[in-house]
Amino acid sequence: MSRFWSDVVHGLQPYVPGEQPRMADLVKLNTNESPFGPSPRVLEAVHAEAADSLRLYPDPTAAALREALAAYHHVTPEQVFVGNGSDEVLAHAFAALLKHPAPLLFPDVTYSFYPVYCRLFGITAETVPLDDAMRIRLADYDRPAGAIILPNPNAPTGIALARAEVAALLARHPDKPVVIDEAYVDFGAETAIPLVAEHPNLLVVQTMSKSRALAGLRVGYAIGDAALIEALTRVKDSFNSYPLGRPAQAGAIASLQDEAYFQHNRTVVIENRGRLAAGLAELGFTVLPSAANFVFARHPAHAGAGLAAKLRQQAVLVRHFSGPRVADYLRITVGTGEQVDRLLAALAQILGRGG
């Protein structure tokens, strides 16, 4: 490799996604996927679209999907942007909206893709520490900044801000872009979408990967003032003018049409989260209060890395991060009831608590 290319390649430090192993009979609780399949109506729609029209390019404006999302969220289609998963939507938001002379603020414990985008797009970042309870303290964001991005609920802590707190943040920062990344909002947090009408600087990003069980289809979207959406669209059209393939556009619309399935699945995940958190607490873990489809938990006597490695030997995958504030913790995705039981039994055995 020439010196030039090796400098380019070594200068990039990409995001490292959670493992997607091919082992059979795994309890896979490491990447916050849904433990349940998507709505059968999604499968029908994807199949029909693939059978009929795969030879044709998709609609570059994704008009039908944007109309469906607009109707679902009570906004106009001009206020909706769609992309290949919310990661791509976020990438476009970083490129279009978040580069300023003053730094972009985000929490020091948060989604690890944010620093990656900052490096890629040459954005100066400043991280704002969480408080001792691992919560976002909004008063700490009152400092010179070009823009702010927060996940709500935060990841990987799972702790949510109330809509009123997001509104208070927006009231204090009317003059800069504020992005709220709501990848996990459907599991018990309040969306900031109703605030978009009064705050033209607010962009809310959501995904169909988690609560709609469509991680493999790659559908994410943003809702905000039409001017912000236009900025995102210009950046998108400078990379790839087709935001989503035909099966993804069709499947996403079908998912929005099956509200009962969506509500049922997210309710079961919330119930199972309660069981998981209670079981972990019984085993001596401290569990942060989660409004997401995962919990962030630590054991006073066992570091996260060791526990994750021992669970792996028992074919149970969970996520562990390195870093001063998070190394003690495990991030455990909420699975089916059976998966929750298997995880708790494996932990009980590792901790010498029988089971």
Q: Is position 79 an interface residue for ligand PMP (rule: CB under 6 A)?
A: no
For ligand PMP, the binding residues in 132-171 under the rule CB under 6 A are 151, 155
For ligand PMP, the binding residues in 192-231 under the rule CB under 6 A are 207, 209, 215, 220
| Residue 147: alpha-carbon gap to chain centroid | 19
CB of 2 to ligand PMP, least distance (A): 33
Q: Is position 183 an interface residue for ligand PMP (rule: CB under 6 A)?
A: yes
Taking the C-alpha atoms of residue 54 and residue 72, their distance in angstroms, rounded to an integer, is 27
Query: Using CB under 6 A, which of the segments 68-76, 80-88, 141-149, 340-348 binds ligand PMP?
Result: 80-88
Tokens of 72: 């679902």
Closer by beta carbon to ligand PMP, 150 or else 340: 150
In one-letter notation, the amino acid at residue 104 is: L
Q: Is position 85 an interface residue for ligand PMP (rule: CB under 6 A)?
A: yes
Q: What is the CA radius of gyration of the chain?
A: 21
Q: Is position 112 an interface residue for ligand PMP (rule: CB under 6 A)?
A: no
Where do runs of H (alpha helix) occur along the chain? 3-11, 40-53, 63-73, 85-97, 113-121, 163-172, 226-239, 246-257, 259-282, 304-313, 337-350
Q: Is position 107 an interface residue for ligand PMP (rule: CB under 6 A)?
A: no
Residue in 86, 152, 201, 265 binding ligand PMP, rule: CB under 6 A: 86
How many residues touch ligand PMP under the rule CB under 6 A: the total is 12
DSSP-derived pairing of the beta strands 125-128 and 147-151: unpaired
Residue 118: helix, strand or coil by DSSP? helix
Nearest to 187 by CA among 217, 222, 219, 152: 152
Residue in 181, 186, 190, 225 binding ligand PMP, rule: CB under 6 A: 181
Closer by beta carbon to ligand PMP, 191 or else 299: 191
Interface positions with ligand PMP (CB under 6 A) = 85-87, 111, 151, 155, 181, 183, 207, 209, 215, 220
